[in-house]
Chain A
Amino acid sequence: MKTLTKEKSSAFTDTENISGALAIVKCLLEEQVEYIFGYPGGAIMPVYDAMYDYQEELKHILNRHEQGAVHAAQGYARATGRVGVCIATSGPGATNLITGIADALIDSTPLVCITGQVPKRLIGSDAFQETDVIGISLPVTKWNYQITKASEIPEIFAKAFYIAASGRPGPVLIDITKNAQIEMLDYYYKKCDHVRSYVPVPKANPTEIERAAELINKAKRPFLLFGHGVTISGAEKELKEVIEKTGVPAAWTIMGLSALETEHPQNVGMLGMHGNYGPNILTNECDVMIAVGMRFDDRVTGDLNTYAKQAKVIHLEIDPAEVDKNVKTEVALVGDCKVTMQALLPLLKKNNHKPWLQRFHDCMKMEQEMIIEKELHPSKEGMTMGEVIRRINDRTDGRAIIVTDVGQHQMVACRYARFQQHRGNITSGGLGTMGFCLPAAFGAKLGAPNRDVVAIIGDGGFQMTLQELGTIWQTQTNVKIVILNNEFLGMVRQWQQLFFDKRYSATELVNPNFVAISKGFGIDAERVDKRENLDDALNRMFGCEQSYLLEIMVEKEDCVFPMIPAGASVSQIRLS
């Protein structure tokens, strides 16, 4: 991808008299934005007009729905660690972004979302396509701002990119009235590196770091949990060093998945509702819990009143509001977890906890026999989601970016994929947004063109954003799309089976011909309904230079286990 040359970029630092719309394009170029995902409309047309002259430098991607645009920007951001940018018109264009913005907030994804707005003089008059986007997006943005004068543009854009990317990342929305896009301004861009009311990266207190080290060094049964924060701050190396030096067993939240390779001997698996047996059940036996860049979501903790009450909790966290929010900490290390772990490392004693680690392995053995074996090597005729995931994973050596939607296939993908490379897992963890996968996978591929990107989607979720096949086709982007078709809204059906007497209320799907749909969008596709055809089909898919869609028929009424019922204790994890 071509980036701006030095000369061109410094030419921008002289003041020039240009339109607001052109200023916006220049701001984006200053921030080295390579892709902007969006959809045009009346209130944003001046900006689209300005982009017309910069198609080489700033690639606009025409998604097929604004929700697709924002999820694509998220996928791009998650694959690269850079700010994802999307743009939409006022009114419905802006409201269509909201789901993705909420998703990005809860999953700490840096975004700058630009929305057009009616001219300033019409604001408040219920004008055509006027909506209070600032009000609507307020609770789901890290920061938002309405620009009503062109002269505000450079400063606000600089601030937006700084806020989105710094500290705990998140989505920022800038709403720009049409008059501000048309007016002229004296343009001068200066990057933002400080906002006086905002401390993005607190620094952990050194005496607290010493206390934490002492607790860890004295612990008999320490247990480390890691989350998205490790990936966000690029602390994968430090995490591994901490684990290897102390001998602590380490488990991940689904947002932390792929920050440590799955095969690492101290990686004891997945936490939470559909996580592995050991890390859940032994949560209530550890004496020191080290939580790194994770926020004790209820899907991880279950009932808080029975969660790790015996443990002294050390929390490495960048966001002070997360500390003591759900779980009371003994030592809070508020700061960037990479920096905190660097400071912690020299204080940690070399140790191993073999017998304690062995207990996790014993649990895994039991889970292997009771669940995993059946999932990976089923004796029944129908395919399981797990065996499909494992084959895909083997085909890509654990190096692909696996993007998942929401439901059973998501949990199975997280459970059964074996990751060898960082930033390998992209999923909607906090909001659980069906429809996330296809556009996010597309965005991820643009961000990481040299990696295989595999979208794993349920037959339900696929139909929420399948229009993005059009975007994939138009841009000739190589995304491998796998629909795990159980002809049900599987995860909801599972709950109905387990907790609602199998009363399958509104969960059975009569599906369209997915292969024909895909082909209609110009993307080659096939349906696999027998195990013996799976490998050949996967070979054709991965052998293809272009996008490819596989509809894989799986068992209709399989359940994902283990499972901690909602609101139950981690100790009540069910194996069947």
Chain B
Amino acid sequence: MKEFTVSVFTENKVGLLNRVTVVLTRRHINIESLTVSESEVEGIHRFTIVINVAEDQVKKIVKQMEKQVDVVKAFYHETDETVHQEIALYKMPISALSNGLNLEKMLRHHHARILSVSPEFLIVEKTGHKAETQELFNQLQPLGLLEFVRSGRIAITKPMKKFSEHMEEMHAF
């Protein structure tokens, strides 16, 4: 088992999320993270899915996804072939600022930023790999962390090939 990032390029159609995820759920594969956004090509959406499976299995999965009529192309990459990021938000009580534990230094050390401050709480943002946002989480929790949320992974692959080139190849025959 290894961590793979699967990128799926699709038409922008209602219901397609189900068609893509059912390929995984049907095979009891847990989705570690899933993000959907637009891509650089107009009308084409991009799914970024993180799963832990054997390489043999991820190959089959990608083909099953591509088999869906509205899926244009699907790829899989090992984590170190991608540049990836996640974003996390932390809600802290205002009191955490003044209890002598030096929250400010902690945030500076983690390159986190404060997005918003109100009389009762402040909201901190940190982007990074999961391990990094997790580390900050671990440090903030003893300080009275009120709420925490983390996004799915977004990833761009290092190998240089534009999606539009893949499109052309598909219909080259």
Show the binding face of A for B, using Cβ within 8 Å: 134-135, 138-139, 142-144, 163, 195-199, 202-203, 319-321, 323-325
Contact yes or no, A139 B171, CB < 8 A: no
> Is residue B159 contacting chain A, with contact meaning CB distance below 8 A?
no
Contact yes or no, B22 A139, CB < 8 A: yes
Contact yes or no, A197 B67, CB < 8 A: no
- Whose C-beta in chain A lies nearest to the C-beta of B167? A196
Contact yes or no, A138 B19, CB < 8 A: yes
Known contacts A142-B69, A197-B69, A202-B173; 5 additional CB pairs below 8 A are A138-B19, A320-B67, A321-B60, A325-B60, A325-B63
List 20 interface pairs A-B (beta carbons < 8 Å), by A numbering.
Answer: A135-B15, A135-B18, A138-B18, A138-B19, A139-B22, A143-B70, A195-B69, A196-B11, A197-B70, A198-B70, A202-B173, A203-B173, A319-B67, A320-B63, A320-B66, A320-B67, A321-B63, A321-B66, A324-B59, A325-B60
Q: A321-B60, A321-B63, A321-B64 are in contact. Are A198 and B22 (CB under 8 A)?
A: no
Interface centre among B18, B64, B67, B72 (most CB of A within 10 A): B67
> Is residue B149 contacting chain A, with contact meaning CB distance below 8 A?
no
Contact yes or no, A321 B67, CB < 8 A: yes
CA gap between A138 and B173 in the complex, in Å: 30
- Residues of B near A134 (CB, < 8 A) are 15
Number of A-B residue pairs with CB-CB distance less than 8 Å in the complex they form: 45
- Residues of B near A320 (CB, < 8 A) are 63, 66-67
CA gap between A320 and B61 in the complex, in Å: 11
0/1 string, B147-173, CB within 8 A of A gives 1: 000000000000000000001001101
- Residues of B near A199 (CB, < 8 A) are 170-171
Contact yes or no, A197 B11, CB < 8 A: yes
Show the binding face of B for A, using Cβ within 8 Å: 10-11, 15, 18-19, 22, 26, 59-60, 63-64, 66-67, 69-72, 167, 170-171, 173
- Residues of A near B10 (CB, < 8 A) are 197
CA gap between A321 and B67 in the complex, in Å: 7
User: How far is the CB of A111 from the nearest CB of chain B, in Å?
Assistant: 15
- Residues of B near A197 (CB, < 8 A) are 10-11, 69-72
CA gap between A195 and B71 in the complex, in Å: 11
CA gap between A134 and B15 in the complex, in Å: 8
- Residues of A near B167 (CB, < 8 A) are 196
CA gap between A321 and B64 in the complex, in Å: 6
Contact yes or no, B72 A196, CB < 8 A: yes
User: How far is the CB of A551 from the nearest CB of chain B, in Å?
Assistant: 41
- Whose C-beta in chain B lies nearest to the C-beta of A322? B63
CA gap between A199 and B11 in the complex, in Å: 14
- Whose C-beta in chain A lies nearest to the C-beta of B169? A199
Contact yes or no, B69 A198, CB < 8 A: yes
- Whose C-beta in chain A lies nearest to the C-beta of B170? A199
User: How far is the CB of B72 from the nearest CB of chain A, in Å?
Assistant: 4
CA gap between A198 and B66 in the complex, in Å: 9
Contact yes or no, A143 B63, CB < 8 A: no
- Residues of B near A195 (CB, < 8 A) are 69
Cβ 8 A contact of B69, one of A143, A323, A324: A143
CA gap between A142 and B171 in the complex, in Å: 20
- Whose C-beta in chain B lies nearest to the C-beta of A172? B69
Contact yes or no, B69 A163, CB < 8 A: yes
CA gap between A202 and B26 in the complex, in Å: 26
User: How far is the CB of B168 from the nearest CB of chain A, in Å?
Assistant: 11
- Residues of A near B173 (CB, < 8 A) are 202-203
User: How far is the CB of B8 from the nearest CB of chain A, in Å?
Assistant: 11
Contact yes or no, A139 B26, CB < 8 A: yes
Contact yes or no, A138 B71, CB < 8 A: no
CA gap between A139 and B170 in the complex, in Å: 25
User: How far is the CB of A209 from the nearest CB of chain B, in Å?
Assistant: 14
- Residues of B near A319 (CB, < 8 A) are 67
A-B pairs with the 7 shortest C-beta distances?
Answer: A321-B63, A197-B72, A143-B69, A321-B67, A203-B173, A198-B69, A321-B64
- Residues of B near A203 (CB, < 8 A) are 173
CA gap between A324 and B60 in the complex, in Å: 8
CA gap between A22 and B171 in the complex, in Å: 35
User: How far is the CB of B65 from the nearest CB of chain A, in Å?
Assistant: 9
User: How far is the CB of A327 from the nearest CB of chain B, in Å?
Assistant: 12
- Whose C-beta in chain B lies nearest to the C-beta of A335? B173
- Residues of B near A163 (CB, < 8 A) are 69
CA gap between A319 and B15 in the complex, in Å: 23
Q: A196-B72, A197-B69, A319-B67 are in contact. Are A138 and B22 (CB under 8 A)?
A: yes
CA gap between A135 and B72 in the complex, in Å: 21
- Residues of A near B69 (CB, < 8 A) are 142-143, 163, 195, 197-198
User: How far is the CB of A33 from the nearest CB of chain B, in Å?
Assistant: 21
CA gap between A319 and B67 in the complex, in Å: 8
- Whose C-beta in chain A lies nearest to the C-beta of B73? A197
User: How far is the CB of A223 from the nearest CB of chain B, in Å?
Assistant: 25
- Residues of A near B18 (CB, < 8 A) are 135, 138
- Whose C-beta in chain A lies nearest to the C-beta of B22? A139
User: How far is the CB of A55 from the nearest CB of chain B, in Å?
Assistant: 33
- Whose C-beta in chain B lies nearest to the C-beta of A162? B69
- Residues of B near A198 (CB, < 8 A) are 69-70
- Residues of A near B67 (CB, < 8 A) are 319-321
CA gap between A198 and B9 in the complex, in Å: 12
CA gap between A135 and B15 in the complex, in Å: 8
- Whose C-beta in chain B lies nearest to the C-beta of A199? B170
CA gap between A202 and B170 in the complex, in Å: 9
CA gap between A325 and B59 in the complex, in Å: 9
CA gap between A202 and B172 in the complex, in Å: 10
CA gap between A324 and B55 in the complex, in Å: 13
User: How far is the CB of A50 from the nearest CB of chain B, in Å?
Assistant: 27
- Whose C-beta in chain A lies nearest to the C-beta of B173? A203
CA gap between A309 and B37 in the complex, in Å: 44
- Residues of A near B66 (CB, < 8 A) are 320-321
- Whose C-beta in chain A lies nearest to the C-beta of B63? A321
CA gap between A197 and B12 in the complex, in Å: 11
User: How far is the CB of B61 from the nearest CB of chain A, in Å?
Assistant: 10
CA gap between A319 and B60 in the complex, in Å: 12
CA gap between A98 and B170 in the complex, in Å: 32
User: How far is the CB of A525 from the nearest CB of chain B, in Å?
Assistant: 44
- Whose C-beta in chain B lies nearest to the C-beta of A163? B69
CA gap between A324 and B64 in the complex, in Å: 12
CA gap between A198 and B11 in the complex, in Å: 10
- Whose C-beta in chain A lies nearest to the C-beta of B43? A196
CA gap between A163 and B72 in the complex, in Å: 15
CA gap between A138 and B72 in the complex, in Å: 18
User: How far is the CB of A346 from the nearest CB of chain B, in Å?
Assistant: 20
CA gap between A324 and B167 in the complex, in Å: 24
CA gap between A144 and B16 in the complex, in Å: 10
- Residues of B near A323 (CB, < 8 A) are 63
User: How far is the CB of B63 from the nearest CB of chain A, in Å?
Assistant: 4
CA gap between A202 and B63 in the complex, in Å: 13
